[in-house]
């Protein structure tokens, strides 16, 4: 699993042709893309109740309740045991998952 620091460098998520951040998607479409990306790249390690995720490797995102900027930074650059996803996800995919986590954490 690339999300857990494995050697895969490709995302397993599909965005169904929706390009978050392109200015042509609704906020619901971006949220849907963010949810799909979280499920395929993050849920293995992180807990997020809204996603039905109970990963125990990374921080519990419901407890942490990070803002969107913090999620973008962490997903892009990694750190503290988390791999960077800048070479795995596009900027718009990172934006979508960051928005999803920031909106969903602690709900």
Per-residue pLDDT, 3 = 52
Return the domain boundaries, the chain: 26-104
Q: What is the per-residue pLDDT for 10? A: 42
51: three-class secondary structure by DSSP: helix
Query: What pLDDT does 106 receive?
Result: 82
Mean pLDDT per 10-residue section of the chain, whose length is 107 residues: 46 45 61 93 92 88 96 96 96 97 89
Q: Could you identify the residue written with the tokens 């963010």?
A: 34
Nearest to 2 by CA among 104, 79, 83, 98: 83
Q: For the domain 26-104, what is the CATH code? A: 1.10.760.10
Beta strand 47-48 pairing with 53-54: antiparallel
């Amino acid at each position: 699993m690339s999300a857990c620091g494995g050697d895969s460098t490709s995302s397993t998520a599909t965005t169904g042709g929706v390009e978050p951040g392109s200015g042509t998607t609704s906020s619901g479409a971006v949220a849907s893309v963010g949810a799909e990306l979280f499920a395929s790249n993050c849920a293995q390690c992180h807990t997020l109740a809204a996603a039905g995720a109970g990963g125990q490797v990374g921080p519990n995102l419901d407890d942490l309740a990070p803002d969107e900027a913090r999620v973008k930074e962490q997903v892009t650059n990694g750190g503290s045991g988390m791999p960077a996803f800048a070479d795995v996800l596009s900027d718009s995919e990172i934006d979508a998952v960051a928005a999803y986590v920031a909106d969903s954490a602690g709900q």
